[in-house]
Homo-oligomer: A and B are copies of this chain.
Amino acid sequence: MSQAPKYLTGDSAAINEFLDKFDVFLLDCDGVLWSGDHVFEGIVETLEMLRSRGKRVVFVTNNSTKDRPAYQLKLTNLGIPSNVEEIFGSSYSAAIYISRILKLPAPKNKVFIIGESGMESELRAEGVPFIGGTDPALRRDITPEDFKKLSDGSLLDPDVGIVLVGLDFHINYLKLSIAYQYLRRGAKFIATNLDNLLPTGETFFPGAGSISIPLVNMTGQTPLTLGKPSQAMMDAIEGKFHLDRARTCMVGDRLNTDIQFGVEGKLGGTLHVLTGVHKREDWEAENAVAVPAYYADKLSDLRGATS
């Protein structure tokens, strides 16, 4: 069905043609710009080249624990120049969705958060009321009194209309029990992203999708999800940047998040770089979840353009 992806590495003519087709580049970060704490060689220069040609770059990440300023600080610490408006994370995306698209009528629009401070600050910036999150009162063991008060409902806030779940390093039985009660009473179930694993160091840790899955298992409900490849995130990006999808390219290392995100979003193009999770054989496979339009060994191969 799809055409074979065009290989850009070392082909200046192809790179020039590729760059001329797009005004906006949506960049996945981990596996594209860096791995762990190691920024790939030539990345800073490549971003400079794109900007000098008048391209807009947007850093699109499923990371839910950091708000935009914190994520910008991370980029700065890694030596990558950026401004906060170029950053689009799954918590920001969730806050936009809740405040501008879902728009539950107050006061029943309160959010119960399972997640870290980045989720709180993005909701706060959008003026969305919330409880839970980093509240120290919930960072404790469940007690017999909690069982009673969750059973009779007296521990619950009647204004909670949304349960928002992201990565929470302080997940516990009490938080899961409270979130379940809200869902059982009809609260909307929203997840920042469903990544099952969090790549860290040489291994993996539980990702946001492994925090929300007990609630999926308990309720039989699937959350509305904001992170890639959910098109709710694409809609939020389009709404913010007023981009022309036909002149936008998604760049990533994963077929089932980044490339699928761009293909389903009907962007003008997708570029797969081989510095992360997926390789050539993954889209060459019969049952590939998504096939990119372009591929390159690494993002910095785009510097091979003639200027």
Contacts and interface: CB of A to CB of B under 8 A. Distances in A.
Interface residues of A, number: 36
Contact of A202 (B151, B200, B205, B211): B151
Nearest to A176: B206
Interface in A214-228: 214, 217-218
A148 interface: yes
B141 A169 contact: yes
A57 interface: no
B218 A206 contact: yes
Nearest to A177: B205
A218 B201 contact: no
A158 to B, nearest CB: 16
A181 B203 contact: yes
A152 interface: yes
Contact of A201 (B139, B147, B173, B210): B147
Contacts of A209: 217
A229 B200 CA distance: 38
Contact of A142 (B139, B169, B180, B218): B169
Contacts of A181: 203
A202 B169 CA distance: 30
Nearest to A209: B217
Contacts of A196: 217-218
B180 A169 contact: no
A184 interface: yes
A237 interface: no
The 9 A-B residue pairs with the shortest CB-CB distance in the complex, in nearest-first order: A151-B201, A210-B214, A213-B217, A210-B217, A151-B203, A196-B217, A151-B202, A169-B173, A176-B206
16 contacts: A141-B169, A147-B201, A148-B201, A150-B201, A151-B200, A151-B201, A151-B203, A152-B201, A176-B210, A180-B205, A181-B203, A184-B203, A196-B217, A206-B214, A207-B218, A214-B214
